[in-house]
């Protein structure tokens, strides 16, 4: 234990920072900047679509922009493999120094990249390549930061110290939105859309410089130095982590019994809650963002609290408790959001039943995570429109070959098949159908948007705070627990992969999966079954197979 305890001073023998508070600050600050870089793209996707994909029609351009955004999530597990291996071979400090340089430079270059109008197809190709580099870098960053802090922490404060890392995604999102809002307000919308959008990307070079300067002053972790000095490091981290069942089974259990449930609760409490407010309940986007921001601002200290509490009572039952509460309460909480954020919609759902009559063979499961699939059958068009407009409906089977119909009370509206339609013909059919159904659901009492005067802001914020508290329960202690599950020589590699598969795939695909489920079933709450089932799976597997790690010695090499 002496290697851990010999870091009391502010500057160590190598001249680097060793004071534990500064270690946490330096690691967390760099990770905040990485999340800032990563979120910029998502926040500015609509503008980026016009700048880099203008060679196609606007709809396809936005689809390709979303595809590039999704690519960053998809490659995160591969970044975990690449940089996890490097971190176990070369060291934690230098690896997460590399990840932040890759992330920062990739983001900065986006701000300089010529548009499609200037260099043609090369613009989107380079943009997607930069986006892939960002995803790879992010895949290596989290495991490095969490491992670095944990290997500096005293055993009885490991949960508390690593919980600061858990706040960084939220803070990075805040920072990106703040910079975008500031530049947008200062320049005006026209100038911002023309070229001012580049400024938030270019500012990242300053953040990169600060982060690199701070991280260069850090020492390698005491445990890694001790392991290297004693010649106990791994020569093949990937083989030891994933080709040996003794460790692979822990990786699988960490994914299914910890990070999968943690991820869906995290995404449901922040991103899906925002999606539900804006897309389903039709709350004005600015209002919804403010409500979510308030909930995050009030709830974010929960990360630190539950990290601290996990040092006292253990990590496992806090994380699993958050998953269990999600399973039990998601349906009533989201029903409550509907009732208090859009009471007119809540009333219409109860009083005006809608039915879709269609051949089941023509109805797709509209899972569309990157926006590239097209759903053109008359059933898909009818269900997609109703799902987007938050209309609950029942399903009734029709004969093969029949065109789908929507029944709203005594009104019957026939859908259309869009196969083979394009241009003006497709637009005319779509406009006519949308107008007819829109008028009918409006007459049935379904509001086009939430009435700001009817929103109960206090109750909505309280419900959102509750969702954020669940997020902090599952996320606050997770870094310490993942670190404690694996041996020092392959810790970086082993913990990074289940974390990024859980969060990049299980969590990242939550909104599109939930929307597809809603469109298939006709119930705006049906998509909640996805996070509920995953969280329930994690609760059961974690309860039975995952051991408590609070008192585990991570200094045993």
- Residue 379 sits in a domain of what CATH number? 3.40.30
Domain match, 187 and 170 both? yes
Which of 233, 249, 265 is where one domain is finished?
233
Evaluate whether residue 348 is within a structural domain.
no
Same domain, 91 and 205: yes
Whether 383 is covered by a domain: the verdict is yes
Are 101 and 6 within one domain? yes
Q: Answer yes or no: is 338 within a domain.
A: yes
% of the chain at pLDDT higher than 70? 91
> Are 514 and 276 within 8 A, CB to CB?
no
- Rounded Cα distance between 344 and 185, Å, is 33
Residue 465 lies in a domain: yes
Locate 38 and state its tokens: 């990563």
For residue 347, being part of any structural domain is answered with no
**pLDDT number for residue 180:** 85
Same-domain check for residues 102 and 188: yes
65 and 164 both lie in a single domain: yes
In a domain, 252, yes or no: yes
Alpha helices in 230-315 (DSSP H): 237-242, 245-254, 260-267, 273-275, 285-299, 301-313
Query: What's the whole-number mean pLDDT along residues 98-127?
Result: 89
* Domain-terminating residue out of 399, 417, 443: 443
What's the average model confidence in pLDDT over 285-308? 89
What CATH number is associated with residue 276?
Answer: 1.20.1250.20
pLDDT of residue 10: 45
Pairing outcome for strands 354-358 and 411-414 = unpaired
Q: Cα 240 to chain center, whole Å?
A: 29
How many structural domains is the chain composed of?
3
Q: How far apart are CA 476 and CA 307, in angstroms?
A: 5
Domain that holds residue 289: 235-342+450-557
User: Could you tell me where the DSSP H helices lie in 409-528?
Assistant: 423-443, 457-475, 478-485, 491-501, 510-521
pLDDT surpassing 60 at residue 456: yes
Domain identity same for 293 and 229: no
Same domain, 80 and 95: yes
Residues 389 and 531 in one domain: no
CA distances from 265 to 87, 171, 219, 258, 460 (A): 29, 18, 35, 11, 18
User: Are 208 and 250 in a shared domain?
Assistant: no
The answer, yes or no, to whether residue 18 has pLDDT greater than 60, is no
Band of the pLDDT at 511, cuts 50, 70, 90?
confident
Identity of the highest mean pLDDT range in 269-278, 440-449, 475-484: 475-484
Confidence check: pLDDT of 247 > 90: yes
Return d(Cα 516, Cα 518) in angstroms, integer: 5
Does residue 93 fall inside a structural domain?
Answer: yes
The arrangement of strands across the sheet holding 405-408 comes to: 394-397, 354-358, 405-408, 411-414
Q: Are residues 321 and 464 in the same domain?
A: yes
Average pLDDT over residues 326-355: 92
51 three-class SS = helix
One domain, residues 16 and 158? yes
In the structure encoding, which two tokens stand for residue 178, read together?
């703040």
Domain final residue pick, 388, 420, 443: 443
pLDDT-based confidence at residue 531 (cuts at 50, 70, 90): very high
Within 13 Å of residue 254, how many CA atoms lie on the same side as its CB?
28
Instruction: Give the model confidence (pLDDT) of 139-173 as tens digits.
Output: 888 888 888 888 888 889 999 999 998 888 778 87
Look at residue 457 and tell me if it is in a domain. Answer: yes
424 and 469 fall within a common domain: no
Range in 12-21, 254-263, 510-519 the model is least confident about: 12-21
Distance of CA 60 to the CA centre of its chain: 23
pLDDT at 74: 81
Query: Which position has the higher pLDDT, 117 or 66?
Result: 117
């Amino acid at each position: 234990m002496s290697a851990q305890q010999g870091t009391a001073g502010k500057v160590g023998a190598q001249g680097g920072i060793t004071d534990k508070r500064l270690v946490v600050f330096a690691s967390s600050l760099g990770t905040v900047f990485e999340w800032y870089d990563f979120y910029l793209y998502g926040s500015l996707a609509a503008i980026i679509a016009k700048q880099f994909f203008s060679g196609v029609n606007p709809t396809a351009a936005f689809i390709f922009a979303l595809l590039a955004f999704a690519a960053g999530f998809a490659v995160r597990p591969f970044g975990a493999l690449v940089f996890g291996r490097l971190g176990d071979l070369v060291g934690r400090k230098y690896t997460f120094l590399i990840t932040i340089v890759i992330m920062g430079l990739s983001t900065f270059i986006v701000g300089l990249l010529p548009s499609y109008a200037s260099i043609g197809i090369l613009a989107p190709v380079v943009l997607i390549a930069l986006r892939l580099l960002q995803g790879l870098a992010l895949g290596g960053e989290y495991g490095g930061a969490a491992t670095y802090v944990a290997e500096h922490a005293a055993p009885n404060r490991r949960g508390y110290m690593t919980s600061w890392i858990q706040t960084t995604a939220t803070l990075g999102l805040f920072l990106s939105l703040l910079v975008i809002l500031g530049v947008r307000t200062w320049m005006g919308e026209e100038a911002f859309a023309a070229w001012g959008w580049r400024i938030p990307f270019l500012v990242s070079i300053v953040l990169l410089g600060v982060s690199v300067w701070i991280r260069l002053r850090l020492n390698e972790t005491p445990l890694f130095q001790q392991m290297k000095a004693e010649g106990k490091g791994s020569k093949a981290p990937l083989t030891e982590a994933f080709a040996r069942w003794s460790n692979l089974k822990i990786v699988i259990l960490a994914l299914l019994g910890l990070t999968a449930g943690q991820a869906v609760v995290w995404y449901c409490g922040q991103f899906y809650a925002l999606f539900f407010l804006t897309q389903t309940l039709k709350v004005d986007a600015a209002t919804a963002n403010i409500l979510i921001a308030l909930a995050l601002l009030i709830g974010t200290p929960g990360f630190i609290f539950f990290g601290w509490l996990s040092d006292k009572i253990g990590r496992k039952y806090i994380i699993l408790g958050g998953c269990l509460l999600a399973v039990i309460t998601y349906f009533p909480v989201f029903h409550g959001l509907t009732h208090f954020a859009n009471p007119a919609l809540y009333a219409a759902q109860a009083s005006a039943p809608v039915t879709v009559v269609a051949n089941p063979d023509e109805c797709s499961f509209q899972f569309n995570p990157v926006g590239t699939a097209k759903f053109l059958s008359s059933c898909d068009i009818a269900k997609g429109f109703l799902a987007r407009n938050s209309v609950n409906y029942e399903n009734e089977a029709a004969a093969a070959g029949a065109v789908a119909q929507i029944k709203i009370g005594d009104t019957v509206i026939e859908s259309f098949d869009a196969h083979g339609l394009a241009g003006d013909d497709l637009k005319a059919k779509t406009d006519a159908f949308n107008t007819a159904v829109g008028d009918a659901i409006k007459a049935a009492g379904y509001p086009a948007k939430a009435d700001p005067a009817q929103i109960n802001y206090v109750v909505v914020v309280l419900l959102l705070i509750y969702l954020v508290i669940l997020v902090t329960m599952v996320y606050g202690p997770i870094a310490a627990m993942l670190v404690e599950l694996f041996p020092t020589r392959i810790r970086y590699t082993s913990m990074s992969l289940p974390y990024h598969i859980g969060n990049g795939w299980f969590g990242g695909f939550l909104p599109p999966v939930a929307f597809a489920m809603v469109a298939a079933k006709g119930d705006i709450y049906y998509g909640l079954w996805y996070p509920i089932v995953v969280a329930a799976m994690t609760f059961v597997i974690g309860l039975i197979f995952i051991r408590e790690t609070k008192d585990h010695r991570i200094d045993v090499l």
